Amino acid sequence: MSKNRSSCTPLPEFCTLSIVIPVYNERDVLPLFYRRLARALADLPSENEVLFVDDGSTDDTPQILEALRQGDSRVGVARLTRNFGKERAISAGLELARGDAVVIIDADLQDPPEQIVHMFQAWQAGAEVVNMRRRQRDGETLLKKATSHAFYRVINRISDVPIAHDVGDFRLLSRRAVTALNSLPERCRFMKGMFAWIGFEQVTLDYDRHARHAGRTKWQYWGLWNYALDGITSFSTAPLKLAMYTGLISAISAFLYAFYFLLKAIIVGDPVQGFPTLIITMLLLGGLQLIAAGVMGEYIGRLYVEVKQRPQYVLSYYHQASINANSTKSLNHQIT
């Protein structure tokens, strides 16, 4: 283990833990979430910063967050100018968080705040990244479980880094891990892959994931499909290779087939027939070409997004939590 990792042992009072919570239209669950989080944090020896990132909510989430902030100086609120998506809200939180370690947690109570104390202990014991693996997934349809399982099988076959199944965004990252993540400039952010990519000493804890406490999931199948495409294109070029090899195989088959027809024409003559073969071959090749062009298009589209170099999100406002300056050495990390 590295000696200069940011940990607060042996002086617990010199340590700050940031909790980053991406929030989008969670008015029904926020008050209970906050109560449970506050109770869980009371067990920790650290100074805490609770950073809500409001991802452009359109309900009264901003008012609720403001009330929480007024009542508790540990609460900070950042609001994005519109809904940028959970991944970007998390990126914003990771850039703004000032703690020696950062926990990312959903607001809907699917990730139990009571687990944070175990994550904290694992970090104190030396882990730079503490991943949380769900033992069970209440409240999810069979179809969602099956598609998610299939996705992780595919991506792990073709990706350069192993991406853990059943590990979501709920995790703790040390300051060094956060700095590494923040240094990744990509716009297409497949966080699960990026968490794996940074490496470091990683520990995985198991927990029971419950159904959403209130409100609705923001994920629809189309969104999940695009998320899966993002994951695959960000972490593998295998689809491009597949397109090339499919083209190669169909070209070789076409040559062999042409040779067969040439011999046949020489030996038995050339009566006009074989329309079905012709049309099937044409359609098959046309289809393959379109698929290959589509695969390239997926990559080119993402290249386009990357080269535009737009910022990942735009902040509407950021009200910092007040952290006791004596109790955190991580104020050095304050973003400018």
Q: Which residues lie near ligand UDP (CB under 6 A)?
A: 22-24, 26, 55, 83, 85-86, 89, 106-108, 110, 212, 217-219
Q: Which of 7, 110, 159, 236 binds Mg ion (CB under 5 A)?
A: 110
What number of chain residues touch Mg ion (CB under 5 A)? Answer: 2
Token digits for 290? Answer: 């379109």
Quick one: 211 or 265, whose CB is closer to ligand UDP? 211
Residues 51-90 that bind Mg ion (CB under 5 A): none
Quick one: 2 or 217, whose CB is closer to ligand UDP? 217
DSSP letters of 235-255? H--HHHHHHHHHHHHHHHHHH
Whether the ω angle into residue 162 lies within 30 degrees of 0, i.e. cis, is: no
Residues 157-176 that bind Mg ion (CB under 5 A): none
Whether the ω angle into residue 10 lies within 30 degrees of 0, i.e. cis, is: yes
Angle formed at CA 201 by CA 200 and CA 205, multiple of 5 degrees = 125
Q: Which among 1-9, 88-96, 106-114, 156-164 is the span making contact with Mg ion, rule CB under 5 A? A: 106-114
Look at residue 107 and give the partner it binds from ligand UDP, Mg ion, none, a contact being a CB closer than 5 to 8 Å depending on partner kind.
Answer: ligand UDP
Angle formed at CA 134 by CA 211 and CA 218, multiple of 5 degrees = 45
* Closest distance of CB 40 from ligand UDP, Å: 16
- Sign of CA pseudo-dihedral 118, 120, 124, 126: positive
CB 247 within 8 A of CB 60: no
* Closest distance of CB 219 from ligand UDP, Å: 5
* Closest distance of CB 61 from Mg ion, Å: 15
- How crowded is residue 79: how many other Cβ atoms within 10 Å of its Cβ? 23
Under the binding rule (CB under 5 A), the answer on residue 108 touching Mg ion is yes
76: closest CA among 98, 49, 99?
49
- How crowded is residue 266: how many other Cβ atoms within 10 Å of its Cβ? 9
Token digits for 64? Answer: 């609720």
Look at residue 219 and give the partner it binds from Mg ion, ligand UDP, none, a contact being a CB closer than 5 to 8 Å depending on partner kind.
Answer: ligand UDP
* Closest distance of CB 137 from Mg ion, Å: 10
Quick one: 87 or 108, whose CB is closer to Mg ion? 108
Quick one: 137 or 302, whose CB is closer to ligand UDP? 137
Quick one: 316 or 322, whose CB is closer to ligand UDP? 316
Quick one: 8 or 20, whose CB is closer to ligand UDP? 20
CB 327 within 8 A of CB 16: yes
3-state helix, strand and coil shares in percent for the chain, rounded to the nearest 5:
50, 15, 35
Binding site for Mg ion (CB under 5 A): 108, 110
